[in-house]
């Protein structure tokens, strides 16, 4: 059984592509049935179309958050979606939508949660002087960047890193763990995420002299 899954984006869509690519395998427990953007200008939309995935755009356009989310919820239900993956979706969701999709909505965040929730995670990690940074896939809860952790990957912070170089290193791992996390959740292995969480450390090789 392949669970119909929607991906919500606002921008570039590289994590979306990683999920689409993983779900191209007929043995993957989720099929990507819809890509939904809240921005008509999101570059990821064209990538989804090119990949043959149905797309929808629901901009807020001055609507209340409740109306906007009711429209999103409506299309997800009409499309018989079972799981939702937030992938660079740049809106904070209200309890209304979070509760309706409880345990069926995932998010990827570019830090090792609970460290650095919110924005500008790479610059904040550098400013804090952490030596390990990374990314997290978690179930969405009412608190921002909170909720049961499904998968994490760690990368080293190198001495001459900039937010951009660090972001690139983390993004490579995002593309690896988001499909893994969706596979766990859609395949039923993450029914109790606390017990089944996968801690994935790619054991990256430090550069000579670092």
List residues with catalytic annotation: 109
In the bound complex, what is the minimum distance in angstroms from residue 209's beta carbon to ligand GRF? 28
Beta bridge partners of 3: 30
For residue 196, what are the CA distances in angstroms to 17, 27, 149, 192, 205?
A: 25, 21, 9, 6, 27
Whether the bond into 12 is cis, omega within 30 of 0: no
Fill in the DSSP letter of residue 117.
-
Return the residues of window 96-125 that contact ligand GRF according to CB under 6 A: 108-110
Q: Which residue number is nearest to ligand GRF in terms of Cβ?
A: 88
Is residue 11 within the footprint of ligand GRF (CB under 6 A)?
A: yes
In the bound complex, what is the minimum distance in angstroms from residue 111's beta carbon to ligand GRF? 9
Return the residues of window 28-67 that contact ligand GRF according to CB under 6 A: 44
| Joined tokens for residue 67 | 């109306």
Give CA–CA dist 109/137, Å, rounded.
Answer: 6
Sign of CA pseudo-dihedral 30, 36, 41, 46: positive
Cβ closest to ligand GRF, residue 58 vs residue 108: 108
Number of chain positions touching ligand GRF (CB under 6 A): 14
Stretch that binds ligand GRF, among 14-22, 23-31, 91-99, 154-162 (CB under 6 A): 14-22
Q: Which residues bind ligand GRF (CB under 6 A)?
A: 11-16, 44, 87-88, 108-110, 171, 174
């Amino acid at each position: 059984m392949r669970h119909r899954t929607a991906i919500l984006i606002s921008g570039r869509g590289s994590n979306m592509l990683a999920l689409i690519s993983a779900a191209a395998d007929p043995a993957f427990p989720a099929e990507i049935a819809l890509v939904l953007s809240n921005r008509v200008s999101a570059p990821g939309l064209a990538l989804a179309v090119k990949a043959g995935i149905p797309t929808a755009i629901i901009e807020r356009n001055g609507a209340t958050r409740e109306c906007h989310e009711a429209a999103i919820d409506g299309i997800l239900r009409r499309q018989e979606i079972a799981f939702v993956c937030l992938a660079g979706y740049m809106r904070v969701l209200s309890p209304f939508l979070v509760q309706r999709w409880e345990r069926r909505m995932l998010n990827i965040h570019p830090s090792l949660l609970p460290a650095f929730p919110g924005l500008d995670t790479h610059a904040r990690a550098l400013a804090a002087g952490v030596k390990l940074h990374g990314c997290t896939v978690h179930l969405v809860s009412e608190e921002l960047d909170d909720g049961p952790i499904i998968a994490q990957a760690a990368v080293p912070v190198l001495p001459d890193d900039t937010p951009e170089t660090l972001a690139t290193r983390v993004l490579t791992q995002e593309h690896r763990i988001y499909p893994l996390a969706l596979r766990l959740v859609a395949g039923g292995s993450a029914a109790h995420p606390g017990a089944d969480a996968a801690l994935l450390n790619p054991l990256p090789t430090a550069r000579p002299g670092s």
